[in-house]
Amino acid sequence: MTAKFWKELVKLVFFSLLIVVPFRLYIAQPFIVEGASMDPTFETGDYLIVDELTYHFKTPERGSVLIFKYPKDPKKSFIKRIIGLPGEKVSILNGQITIINTEYSEGFTLNEPYVKLNKKDSADYIVGAREYFVLGDNRLASADSRIWGPVPEANIIGRPIISFFPPAFFPGDNSNE
């Protein structure tokens, strides 16, 4: 092997690291789904790429899927769907969700076609400023904001944009107001 080969190899590695490391740290990162809380939308073993940049420029919308640091242990990352936005009241009656906010003082009922197995629970929750109320799509198998409360805005990592296994692309938010 010649000195020119080694020089080119070192340059290739250097420039690759110069591009890949900042991209991985600040723009996108991988996420592997574990557990059944998001079935059927995402299943255990799904390999996702998470967009970490978008929510630095715009606020998350209701219906969007969110990757975030678990509020009780920030070393863990979770995936759930945004149901309640900052300042709203989330009212659940026999599994049916009603959102009460300044625009809808009487409330409006969410249409959730992505929910496969609903839990017939009932409770009311107030979402604080800079917080999001999140639930799994499989309500029977989901530990979520009903148990450990809303997700602070500071815990948001990003949103899934690509699924490699199985292949899929998620072009935008899934708002359903």
- Identify whether 116 is a catalytic site residue: no
- Identify whether 175 is a catalytic site residue: no
- Joined together, the tokens standing for residue 135 give 């639930």
- Joined together, the tokens standing for residue 87 give 């300042």
The catalytically annotated residue of 58, 72, 75, 80 is 80
- Joined together, the tokens standing for residue 54 give 């978008």
The catalytically annotated residue of 37, 64, 142, 145 is 37
133 neighbors 145 (Cβ within 8 angstroms): yes
Positions annotated as catalytic residues are: 37, 80
